[in-house]
Amino acid sequence: MAIYLLKRGVIVKRIDIEYEIFFKSEFFTGGGTGNSYADNYVLKDSSGNPYIPSSLIKGKLRYYSEVIANTVGSTNLACKLNSNHNKNYNEENSECKCSICIVYGWQGNKKGFLTFYDAKLSNNKMNEDNGDVKVKGIYKNRTGTTIDRYVKTVKKGALYTIETTIDGLSFGGEISGFLPDETYKRDIFLLKCAFNLVDSFGGNQSRGLGFVDTSKTKFEVYIDKNNENSNVYDWKEGEKECFTK
pLDDT digits 0-9 by tens, 6-25: 445 678 888 999 999 999 99
Q: What is the pLDDT of residue 94?
A: 54
| Distance from C-alpha of 82 to C-alpha of 69, rounded to nearest angstrom | 12
Q: What is the pLDDT of residue 80?
A: 61
Q: How does strand 119-121 pair with strand 51-52?
A: antiparallel
The mean pLDDT of 197-208, rounded to a whole number, is 84
Q: What is the pLDDT of residue 139?
A: 84
Residue 60 pLDDT level (bands cut at 50, 70, 90): very high
Q: Are 65 and 191 in contact (CB under 8 A)?
A: yes
| Distance from C-alpha of 95 to C-alpha of 87, rounded to nearest angstrom | 14
Does 118 have pLDDT greater than 90? yes
Q: What is the pLDDT of residue 23?
A: 92
The whole-model pTM stands at: 0.80
Domain residue ranges in the chain: 3-23+51-130+173-242
DSSP run (H or E) holding 189: helix 184-197
Q: Are 42 and 32 in contact (CB under 8 A)?
A: no
Question: How does DSSP assign 10-55, residue by residue?
Answer: EEEEEEEEEEEEEBSS----EE----SS-SBEE-B-TTS-BEE-HH
Q: Are 27 and 49 in contact (CB under 8 A)?
A: no
Estimate to the nearest angstrom the gap between the alpha carbon of 163 and the chain centroid. Answer: 22
DSSP state of 84: H
| Distance from C-alpha of 2 to C-alpha of 76, rounded to nearest angstrom | 22
